[in-house]
Amino acid sequence: MAPRPSSNDTGIAELQALGAQVQQAIADYAVGKTQDTNDIARRCHLLAHRAEAPEVFAERLRYQPLSICALMIAIEGGMLQALASSPEANISAEQLAQITRRHKLDIVRTLRLLSALGACDEVGLQTYRANDKTTVLASKGQIGGFRVSSVPISAITTKVEEFFRKHASGEWEEEANVPSLHTYTYGQSMYDYLRDHRERRADFDAYMEARKQEKRRRWHHCYPVLSQLGVRSDVPADSSQMAVVDVGGNQGHDLATFQESNPDFRGRLILQDLPETVEPLLVDQEKQRVFEVMPYDFFTPQPVVGATLYLLLAVLHNWEDKECRAILKNLADAMAPGSSRLLISGLLLPDVGAERRAAELDMQMWMLQQSRQRTETEIRELVRSVGLDVAKVWENGDRESIVEVRKVESALDAV
Ligand SMILES: C[S@@+](CC[C@H](N)C(=O)[O-])C[C@H]1O[C@@H](n2cnc3c(N)ncnc32)[C@H](O)[C@@H]1O
């Protein structure tokens, strides 16, 4: 028999097995064994990857920046938003050109690629329709995410060769002096840049909230606050003595959903973040009814001493070990042994076999902040180094673990 014309070495049996796994994932979802369709997508990707010839795979990676380029043309030109909010189901390039005042040919070329990627549907000659992905991509929070992550990373990519050449030749002498790629590219750290660029700061804050919206389970769904803290929701007097402090809590989305889910909670809810993040909230009476707003730099001593619960949600991955220890030490100093707890949330990297999204998040932290995702062992070591101890790790699914931390009675070993 003539050999099968193929430029990759993947066997038919393997493809059939992967196809069967896709079928199984669909069957599991149909009977409710899995909550969402992400497992189906993951297995489809595995099948697509094994079926793809190496040269095609290489070509796809090579052209990947063009997807972001097309998306940013569509976003900054208002095409995606016009498509998503169109009262008509179908909209032509001509109509989009009138609405956005962009050249029709630019629209046709941009939406050609975005349709091929599945970001919208091409339903006829130069005619398009929004699909479920378009609506999400055109939302404020997702647009913010592309502006503060994809765009700077694209700019950083242009500096990669130069940066690593200098690094290898000892440009910065000591490892501690190596700037982040963001600082090297933009002359400022990411948070300093956001402080000086209000529009980008607003994009960042919108993105912070949006990335939580896709989560079915928030931190308080995973960590049973009231039972863990010994509060019964029918005894308001107990909870009134409590304080929950969200350190680096952005604009308070995690406290707001906690209050919504626990309307009987009578304690203090305190939001702490940088002045430029929380100051817009100081004029928002509605938000202030839900939580107290406190501008605070977590590299300075924690002003709320002996709180019942401190939250550090998706914060430590922004910082290298030295900074993490400083943040944790300020919390350790404020925590009361026995009664205070700290919840550290984030993605814990497995020692081997991290999935793509986890590895990407780690790369993003490296590029933007010279920081990283950590394994459970690394988090435990950080926590121990400041006289704290891990009580339990709560799994929240979908890339989030919550590490519950207490202060050990004797903090003599703290640094
Ligand atoms: C990745 S975001 C996480 C926000 C929120 N906890 C969440 O899980 O959505 C990190 C937060 O840390 C805040 N932050 C950065 N540097 C800070 C500092 N020195 N003091 C206090 N907050 C800071 C940022 O403004 C941002 O809101």
> Which residue's alpha carbon is nearest to atom 3 within ligand 1?
314
Contact 332, 407 (CB under 8 A): yes
Contact 390, 383 (CB under 8 A): yes
Q: What is the Å distance from ligand 1's center to 211 Cα?
A: 14
Contact 142, 136 (CB under 8 A): yes
What pLDDT band is residue 236 in, cutting at 50, 70 and 90?
Answer: very low
Question: What is the model's pLDDT at position 376?
Answer: 95
Question: What is the model's pLDDT at position 229?
Answer: 72
Residues with CB under 6 A from ligand 1: 191, 208, 212, 248-250, 254, 273-274, 277, 296-299, 313-315, 318
Residue 246's beta-bridge partner residues? Answer: 271, 311
In CATH terms, the superfamily for domain 218-352+371-407 is Vaccinia Virus protein VP39 (3.40.50.150)
Q: For the chain, which residues make up each domain, given as ranges?
A: 11-51, 140-205, 218-352+371-407
pLDDT (average), residues 209-225: 85
Nearest to 382 by CA among 324, 315, 295: 324
- Looking at per-residue pLDDT, the higher value among 286 and 53 belongs to 53
DSSP 284: -
> Residue-wise over 98-125: b if at least 16 C-beta within 10 A, else e?
ebbebebebbbebbebbbeeebbbeeee
Residue 7 has pLDDT above 80, yes or no: no
pLDDT digits over 84-106, tens only?
999 999 999 999 999 999 999 99
Strands 121-124 and 127-129, by their bridges, are: antiparallel
Question: What is the model's pLDDT at position 415?
Answer: 44
Residue 13 CA: distances (Å) to CA of 46, 96, 336, 414: 14, 47, 60, 56
CA distance 336 to 388: 11
CA distance 278 to 250: 7
Angle at alpha carbon of residue 374, lines to 162 and 172, rounded to 5°: 30
Q: What is the Å distance from ligand 1's center to 256 Cα?
A: 16
CA distance 335 to 272: 16
Q: What is the Å distance from ligand 1's center to 354 Cα?
A: 25
pLDDT digits over 259-315, tens only?
999 888 889 999 999 999 999 898 877 766 789 999 999 999 999 999 999 999 999
Question: What is the model's pLDDT at position 10?
Answer: 59
- The chain-wide mean pLDDT, for the chain, equals 91
Question: What is the model's pLDDT at position 290?
Answer: 86
Which helix (H) or strand (E) covers residue 406, if one does? strand 401-407
Question: What is the model's pLDDT at position 240?
Answer: 78
Residue 237 has pLDDT above 50, yes or no: no
**Pocket perturbation via mutation, ligand 1, pick of 148, 196, 200, 208 by most ligand atoms within 8 A of CB:** 208
Question: What is the model's pLDDT at position 3?
Answer: 52
pLDDT digits over 305-345, tens only?
999 999 999 999 999 999 999 999 999 999 999 889 999 99
pLDDT digits over 377-411, tens only?
999 999 999 999 999 999 987 778 999 999 987 64
What atom of ligand 1 comes closest to residue 315's alpha carbon?
A: 10
CA distance 65 to 69: 6
Q: What is the Å distance from ligand 1's center to 315 Cα?
A: 6
Question: What is the model's pLDDT at position 214?
Answer: 74
What pLDDT band is residue 250 in, cutting at 50, 70 and 90?
Answer: very high
Angle between helix 321-334 and 376-384 (nearest 10)? 50
Residue 199 has pLDDT above 50, yes or no: yes
CA distance 130 to 329: 49
pTM to 2 decimals? Answer: 0.89
What atom of ligand 1 comes closest to residue 250's alpha carbon?
A: 27
What pLDDT band is residue 232 in, cutting at 50, 70 and 90?
Answer: very low
CA distance 383 to 381: 5
What atom of ligand 1 comes closest to residue 299's alpha carbon?
A: 19
Nearest to 365 by CA among 149, 141, 201, 69: 149
What atom of ligand 1 comes closest to residue 208's alpha carbon?
A: 9
Question: What is the model's pLDDT at position 197?
Answer: 97
pLDDT digits over 158-195, tens only?
999 999 999 999 999 888 889 999 999 999 999 999 99
Residue with tokens 């016009």: 82
Q: What is the Å distance from ligand 1's center to 312 Cα?
A: 9
pLDDT digits over 149-166, tens only?
999 999 999 999 999 999
Q: How far is CA 396 from the centre of its chain?
A: 15
What atom of ligand 1 comes closest to residue 211's alpha carbon?
A: 9
